[in-house]
Structure 1
Amino acid sequence: MNNPHPNRSHAGEHTTAGPPPRVVTLLRHDLPASFVIFLISIPISLGIAVATGAPLIAGIVSAVVGGVVVGALSGAPLQVSGPATGLVVITAGLVAQYGWPATAAITLAAGLLQIALGLTGIGKLALSLSPAVVHGMLAGIGISIAAGQLVVVLGGSAASSVLANLGRLPAELGSTHIGSLVAGTVTVAAMLLWPRVPRSSLVPAPLVAVGAGTLVTVLLPLDLARVSLPGHPLDQIVLPEMPRGSVAGVVAAVVTVALVASVESLLSAVAVDKLHDGPRAKLDRELIAQGTGNAIAGALGGLPISGGIARSSTNVAAGARTRNSAVLHGIWIAVFVIALGSVLEHIPLAALAGVLLVVGVRLVSVARMRTLLRHREFVVYLATVLGVVVFGLLEGVVFGLAIALLRALVRLTHCSVRVDGDRVCVRGSLVFLGVGRLLRELRRIPSGREIVLELHVDYLDHASYEAINDWREGYERLGGRVEVDEVHDTWYDRAHQGKPGRRKTLPGPLPRWFAPWSHWQGGAVVALPAQRGESDPMLKGMHEFERRSAALVRPFLAELAAQGQRPQQLFITCADSRVVPNMITTSGPGDLFCLRNIGNLVPSYGSDDRSVGAAVEFAVESLGVTTIVVCGHSDCGAMKALVKGSATRGSHLHTWLRNAEPSLIRFHEPSAPGCADLPITDRLAVANVAQQLDNLLGYPSVREAIASGSVSLVGMYFDISQARVYLVNPDRNALEPVPAPAH
């Protein structure tokens, strides 16, 4: 007996399984990645502490809490949190105004506020960001990182803005910081070349690159800046104290820190999701995790925490698979800073900068630019990039969102205006932005005509209504006539009655009556009676009708059920499954009284057939139809059987087709050559329609109704392959185009 679960052994069997997949992932991917981001986080955390005026240990505390606490609780497993780069200026201002202990207390309170925000479910709003904005943010951050770290590789100190770093490049290029340049160059080369080494994926490139950059500076007597850690770090911890000052000022500070840290973390989480194929971020959970981290960091005298794209993108690039890499990196920071700080102080800053330089450049994706160009979203992308580079992360995202919203407004309010003779077709949303273009087209129409203004609009505001109504009244004063034909909804009519619509018309469920079952049921075929069930396409079709179409047609059917049927036409056509009378006449329930048979035949009055005659008499005498239509079609099987004589003698089909013999005689009459360009069977189908019109005249009730002018006869022909309808001229057995209706 085969084991249905090949990865599981039967009870009692001895197996020699390897380590569990989680252990393999931890050892092969997360552990090496944790060392990489640990090395990157140390200088970032210390640099932020220096920039804000906080104790150096405050940056280390936040890095540890961001890794261990936030990493363990995070809703974005591959995001790495630490001291918030987006809050450097704000935190520096708070330190200057309230002092460091009070700033730590503000951080604690901000964390509690973040937890409350996360519990409300507000974090999901970040998913509404346009992909162009997210990728633009990534590219802008990548440029910012690359510009700053290039300065460090050249031996300088990175400034807080891209423009300032670009301004420093000429001076740094003219200097002779050989040690930093060598370390940075070796690191960048290792980052680029290591992935080409066979089986290199076992060790992440950033870890190899930092090792190579450090080794070369140890072997060679190079003078350059290295990682610097505080001596006796635990002695520098400062616990929080209540801020002194106005309550409003303190509350504003708490709200500002909470909102900026939250936005930065959520933006980073959404952006990191674009960099990997693993589980997607749970943003509300991430917001609660960030709040918990800030509350603990503030209580321990740490800086405000947020998710950081620089650390997180490095984490992804280093091959991390789970949250373990973020947690471990926090543990390494605590262990090495407290116990092994001297080891880290051998690492040159230029080596760490080289890793970040490559990571930053890779965030600028040329392939993504091409995709956004194809989708016409590059303007939003470019605006976000420039905003982030010139103004900062939050300002750049807001700028990109503003451009995206403006473009969406233009697209959503776009309308097309097409003038075709005396018919003007308007499609889309009619708002004030499109009034000018609409009026330009309408004013080009010569005066004195009968115009049909066909509106396929899902919204019409007051400005558009007034513009159309004013033009209509002016046009009619000059002798013209305007008919407003509303197809999609009655926006114009309701506005004319003083009851304008308030919300955009949502597209209704699309009925599927015009498409065969095979096109929307995955090629289904009719099941055998014994197999009928959910696989039966007819039952699926009935379910589809009840689900999508019944609600649309129910008001009409309810009215017809109450008033009874009053069809306008008797529609006689073939039983061919490809001919759908309601589709080719754009009619609905109650319009057509249909009679279908093989070959759309009307046997002569007085023949043995009673079924067709009964239907004709009922339609004329009881229902009072005003038109009788006989509709033939191309590729008719009955006409083929007539031409080939293929119907089996003595069969019901053979007996029925005798009623079509007058059509054969008519077809061969030289006085009515018919449509010479059609195949023989299709020409016979046209002649057959003409003959059935003559047969109808043999019915007394029909003849009397025609004489009184209450009924007219119409011949019709449907070309299946071209989906085109023609009228049949019975005098010539010929086809004529359907004339346009009079306005």
Structure 2
Amino acid sequence: MSLDTQSQHSPGDSRWRVLLRHDLPASLVVFLVALPLSLGIAVASDAPIAAGLIAAVVGGVVVGLLGGSALQVSGPAAGLTVVVAETINQFGWKTACFITVAAGALQVVFGLSRIARAALAIAPVVVHAMLAGIGITIALQQVHVLLGGSSHSSALANITELPRQLLNLHAYDVLIGAVVIAIMLGWKYMPGKIRVVPGPLVAVLVGTVLSLVVPGNVERIVLNGSLFDAIGLPEMPSGGWGAVALAALTIALIASVESLLSAVAVDKMHTGPRTDFDRELVAQGAANMTSGLLGGLPVTGVIVRSATNVAAGARTRASALIHGVWVLVFSVALVGLVQQIPKAALAGLLIVVGMQLVKTAHIRLAHRTGDLFIYVATVAGVVFLNLLEGVLIGLVVAFALLLWRVVRVAVTAEHVDDDRWLVRIEGTCTFLALPRLSSELAKVPAGTVVLVEMSVDFLDHAAYESIHDWATQHESTGGTVEFIELGTAPMKHAPAGPPVRGRARGLLDDVLSPWRDTGESSPITSGIAAYHRRNAHVVRPHLDEHGQQPHSFFLTCADSRIVPNVITNSGPGDLFTVRNVGNLVPSYGRDTSLEAGLIFALEELRVDNLVVCGHSGCGAMTAVYAGAHTGSGLGDWLEYAVPSLDRFRMGHPVARAAADAGFSDVDQLSMVNVAVQVATLSNHPLVRAAIRDRGVTVSGLFFDIGTARVLAVTADGIAEIDDGELAELVTV
């Protein structure tokens, strides 16, 4: 269809096309994935089978209508099976439904309070470990069902009773479950056209068909009546309100975190609208209140269904809503088909789903980041205690590790040579570091020369006093102490007031203008002192006592905002820099200063590159453009820029390119001036000989102060500079 034809249709027509072409087919795929998972999660939660279907319908319809995530799909989640099973076991099914309603109300309050993002503050390693613990628990439970028995109340009991269950296994249940597991694990290796059909649906269908042909008795799902028959109001608890409140808070927190993390993950899978987290949390709460009132399981955003939704091509929330309608139609019209599904098939499905929650990538990440102990502690707590206690253990361990990382300090004292020692102090330096400090500083012999390199971001008075007293004592014995402060918490600030964490300094603050924030009257003097304290020892190794060997002659304007070594990312000794007002090259040697610099650079230093660099907002070019450059002194000097002004007015190609890029007239003149000075420099007899004999290059640059970007200026125009393209773009 052409664009003209498309424009004749209304936005309503476009929405219907998106619905029919993308969202409707996607909803069918998600429905086929959600159906067996919803049944399996109900079984794993020890809830009525219909409760899983009710939650799937409510999650699809309610969150689909109200949610803040464009493509997230909600329903009963494996992440809540453990806590829901414990809740049902403790309070009974009807009261568990009331707790689901209360949890939903809490989620609504969370969303209306606009604190949804606070749930994302939980350490990801704890969330990953929580899901892994849930997955292991589900697998331990369902392996007994797959073997033809019943799961036990605790993970420890499931482990200890496993040998006995193996001695009394039911062969046909094991066969059905094994076939389901094999299909689930092998489905990703099937051809792409076959994988269009969801693997869980195929696995359960094959397991069901197999259960109908094997000769033995196979235990099947029991569903009394239709979905409407299972709807029932919750019951108020008769007592134990503290335990009820704790259960509701647990479900609310876990459901919120899982939904929000799933929404974050889904946002990374598509380029559509980003999630409104507060709105999503309100929708999840409304869905849980509705599901609990109707007799359904708790609802969360589910990453498996959501990822399927994105992969199937969904564009709007309509796909999630319609998938809920499909579940409702199936549950009402085909209830007899549901009752043919063997429990062993769902057990095999849940074992695979549970083990998929244990992701090796998360374990490797925890190992790389030093969080493996948090991961293991959380998993063990979830599996062998309960979900809430496991998460709390993980959070406590994560906080303890964080505290240790924040307050720890690394102190080393090393013998460099002869009577020279190097002491390094890195990290957060507080009174907790005093034992370490005193131990390392005691290694330094009296009378030695000591360099103390401090890279600390926090220094309290106790640590300052310990270091200062040691330095005073060391100097009293004939030794010397020099402090090099690389961190953001200077020594001199420690005795002046309460300790504060130092502000991270940028490159210009730290290297070029460290005196700007000191408030001292002599910026040069204080700047030199800061240089000695923070940077001299870094620069020292790069200064060659045997002479300079720069690779480039760099002519630029006298404007103080241009720092050649910064904008060229070069170090001491790399550039032989000459500056004048307007970065001008007077012809015929009329400027002896520039002539001397050029001769020295080419004949003595043997540079390979000659560079002329102009800049935006140039005062010299402003004066030339305005014609205010007559007279002696500065006016006489700016006469050398008149040829650049003439070329600008004649429509120099550089001016046209700069105009197209949106630069002002003065900046266009500055760029033309660079091109003209490059041409003048290239025609210098000494430069022509160097180009001919040694391949010396002559280049033009323009520094745009507003964006801090450097552009290449050629005879024909201007260009951006990327890595490795400088020579190609700017050589004349």
Q: Please give the range of the TM-score, normalised by the shorter of the 2 chains.
A: 0.5 to 0.7
What do the CA deviations read for 1:422-463 (whole angstroms, capped 9, x no partner)?
A: 443423321344433332221111113454434332111344
Out of 601, 606, 610, the residue aligned to residue 636 of structure 1 is: 601
Once residues 176 and 655 of structure 1 are traced to their aligned partners in structure 2, the CA distance between those partners, rounded to angstroms, is: 96
Partner of residue 215, structure 1 = 209
Partner of residue 84, structure 2 = 88
Out of 280, 304, 316, the residue aligned to residue 313 of structure 1 is: 304
Where do 1:284-303 residues align within 5 Å? 284-300=278-294, 302=295
Q: CA deviation at 1:636?
A: 3.0
For 1:577, the aligned partner's letter is F
**Quick check: 1:449–1:480 contact (8 Å CA) kept in 2?**
yes
Q: CA deviation at 1:117?
A: 1.1
Q: What's the secondary structure of 2:284's corresponding residue?
A: helix
Once residues 137 and 654 of structure 1 are traced to their aligned partners in structure 2, the CA distance between those partners, rounded to angstroms, is: 76
Once residues 377 and 81 of structure 1 are traced to their aligned partners in structure 2, the CA distance between those partners, rounded to angstroms, is: 31
Partner of residue 261, structure 2 = 270
Unpaired runs of 5+ residues, structure 1, are: 515-548, 566-572, 585-594, 599-607, 613-630, 643-650, 657-743
1:32 equivalent to 2:29? Answer yes
Out of 332, 335, 343, the residue aligned to residue 349 of structure 1 is: 343
Once residues 78 and 233 of structure 1 are traced to their aligned partners in structure 2, the CA distance between those partners, rounded to angstroms, is: 25
Q: What's the secondary structure of 1:448's corresponding residue?
A: coil
Partner of residue 554, structure 2 = 577
Q: CA deviation at 1:39?
A: 2.3
Q: CA deviation at 1:211?
A: 1.0
Where do 1:394-433 residues align within 5 Å? 394-412=388-406, 413-417=408-412, 419=414, 420=416, 421-433=420-432
Partner of residue 159, structure 2 = 166
Partner of residue 546, structure 1 = none
1:66 equivalent to 2:59? Answer yes
Once residues 332 and 457 of structure 1 are traced to their aligned partners in structure 2, the CA distance between those partners, rounded to angstroms, is: 61
Partner of residue 531, structure 1 = none
For 2:554, the aligned partner's letter is S
1:468 equivalent to 2:467? Answer yes
Pick closer, same or farther for the CA change 1:81–1:416 going to 2, 3 Å: farther
**Quick check: 2:258–2:301 contact (8 Å CA) kept in 1?**
no
Q: CA deviation at 1:295?
A: 2.5
Q: CA deviation at 1:481?
A: 5.1
Unpaired runs of 5+ residues, structure 2, are: 529-547, 566-575, 580-588, 608-681, 688-732
For 1:262, the aligned partner's letter is L
Q: CA deviation at 1:255?
A: 6.4
Once residues 655 and 171 of structure 1 are traced to their aligned partners in structure 2, the CA distance between those partners, rounded to angstroms, is: 96
Q: What's the secondary structure of 1:417's corresponding residue?
A: strand
Once residues 247 and 433 of structure 2 are traced to their aligned partners in structure 1, the CA distance between those partners, rounded to angstroms, is: 40
Once residues 277 and 292 of structure 2 are traced to their aligned partners in structure 1, the CA distance between those partners, rounded to angstroms, is: 22
Q: CA deviation at 1:400?
A: 3.2
Partner of residue 135, structure 1 = 128
Pick closer, same or farther for the CA change 1:222–1:398 going to 2, 3 Å: same
What do the CA deviations read for 1:163-209 (whole angstroms, capped 9, x no partner)?
A: 33333322222224122112112222222334433311221111111
**Quick check: 1:266–1:287 contact (8 Å CA) kept in 2?**
no
Q: What's the secondary structure of 1:192's corresponding residue?
A: helix
**Quick check: 1:447–1:480 contact (8 Å CA) kept in 2?**
yes
Pick closer, same or farther for the CA change 1:147–1:305 going to 2, 3 Å: same
Once residues 597 and 399 of structure 2 are traced to their aligned partners in structure 1, the CA distance between those partners, rounded to angstroms, is: 54
Once residues 462 and 510 of structure 2 are traced to their aligned partners in structure 1, the CA distance between those partners, rounded to angstroms, is: 38
**Quick check: 2:24–2:319 contact (8 Å CA) kept in 1?**
no
Q: CA deviation at 1:307?
A: 1.9
Where do 1:475-494 residues align within 5 Å? 475-476=474-475, 478=477, 480=479, 482=481, 484=483, 486-489=485-488, 491-494=490-493
For 2:400, the aligned partner's letter is L
Greater displacement, 435-444 / 425-434: 425-434
Q: CA deviation at 1:346?
A: 0.6
Out of 375, 393, 397, the residue aligned to residue 381 of structure 1 is: 375
For 1:356, the aligned partner's letter is L
Partner of residue 360, structure 1 = 354
Once residues 144 and 120 of structure 1 are traced to their aligned partners in structure 2, the CA distance between those partners, rounded to angstroms, is: 34
Q: What's the secondary structure of 2:37's corresponding residue?
A: helix
Once residues 396 and 634 of structure 1 are traced to their aligned partners in structure 2, the CA distance between those partners, rounded to angstroms, is: 75
Partner of residue 507, structure 1 = 504
For 1:495, the aligned partner's letter is A
For 2:87, the aligned partner's letter is T
Pick closer, same or farther for the CA change 1:466–1:81 going to 2, 3 Å: farther
TM-score, with length taken from structure 1? 0.62
For 1:225, the aligned partner's letter is E
Partner of residue 260, structure 1 = 251
What do the CA deviations read for 1:514-557 (whole angstroms, capped 9, x no partner)?
A: 8xxxxxxxxxxxxxxxxxxxxxxxxxxxxxxxxxx889747679
Once residues 55 and 430 of structure 2 are traced to their aligned partners in structure 1, the CA distance between those partners, rounded to angstroms, is: 52
What do the CA deviations read for 1:13-47 (whole angstroms, capped 9, x no partner)?
A: 9xxx9x94553444554313312322221343366
Q: CA deviation at 1:157?
A: 2.1
What do the CA deviations read for 1:112-150 (whole angstroms, capped 9, x no partner)?
A: 332121122222123334443343334333323333232
1:157 equivalent to 2:156? Answer no
TM-score, with length taken from structure 2? 0.63
For 2:156, the aligned partner's letter is L
Q: What's the secondary structure of 1:36's corresponding residue?
A: helix
**Quick check: 1:38–1:333 contact (8 Å CA) kept in 2?**
yes
Q: CA deviation at 1:287?
A: 1.8
Q: What's the secondary structure of 1:231's corresponding residue?
A: coil
Once residues 292 and 597 of structure 1 are traced to their aligned partners in structure 2, the CA distance between those partners, rounded to angstroms, is: 71
Once residues 145 and 242 of structure 1 are traced to their aligned partners in structure 2, the CA distance between those partners, rounded to angstroms, is: 29
Once residues 510 and 237 of structure 2 are traced to their aligned partners in structure 1, the CA distance between those partners, rounded to angstroms, is: 70
Pick closer, same or farther for the CA change 1:417–1:381 going to 2, 3 Å: same
What do the CA deviations read for 1:601-629 (whole angstroms, capped 9, x no partner)?
A: xxxxxxx99987xxxxxxxxxxxxxxxxx
Once residues 189 and 577 of structure 2 are traced to their aligned partners in structure 1, the CA distance between those partners, rounded to angstroms, is: 73
What do the CA deviations read for 1:192-242 (whole angstroms, capped 9, x no partner)?
A: 334433311221111111111111111233311111112366456443566
**Quick check: 1:48–1:88 contact (8 Å CA) kept in 2?**
yes
For 1:424, the aligned partner's letter is V
Q: CA deviation at 1:507?
A: 1.1
Partner of residue 107, structure 2 = 114
Pick closer, same or farther for the CA change 1:225–1:578 going to 2, 3 Å: farther
Pick closer, same or farther for the CA change 1:256–1:146 going to 2, 3 Å: closer
Aligned-pair identity in percent equals: 34
For 1:179, the aligned partner's letter is Y
Once residues 126 and 505 of structure 2 are traced to their aligned partners in structure 1, the CA distance between those partners, rounded to angstroms, is: 31
Pick closer, same or farther for the CA change 1:71–1:179 going to 2, 3 Å: farther
**Quick check: 2:226–2:335 contact (8 Å CA) kept in 1?**
no
**Quick check: 2:40–2:350 contact (8 Å CA) kept in 1?**
no
Once residues 318 and 207 of structure 2 are traced to their aligned partners in structure 1, the CA distance between those partners, rounded to angstroms, is: 26
Pick closer, same or farther for the CA change 1:212–1:481 going to 2, 3 Å: same
Partner of residue 646, structure 1 = none
For 2:604, the aligned partner's letter is M
Q: What's the secondary structure of 1:39's corresponding residue?
A: helix
Pick closer, same or farther for the CA change 1:231–1:552 going to 2, 3 Å: farther
**Quick check: 2:32–2:198 contact (8 Å CA) kept in 1?**
no
> Considering only CA atoms, is the larger Rg found in Structure 1 or Structure 2?
1
**Quick check: 2:471–2:481 contact (8 Å CA) kept in 1?**
yes
Q: What's the secondary structure of 1:297's corresponding residue?
A: helix
Partner of residue 179, structure 2 = 186
User: What's the RMSD between the two structures over aligned residues?
Assistant: 5.0
Greater displacement, 66-75 / 233-242: 233-242
For 1:500, the aligned partner's letter is P
Once residues 115 and 23 of structure 2 are traced to their aligned partners in structure 1, the CA distance between those partners, rounded to angstroms, is: 33
Q: CA deviation at 1:153?
A: 1.8
Once residues 554 and 371 of structure 1 are traced to their aligned partners in structure 2, the CA distance between those partners, rounded to angstroms, is: 41
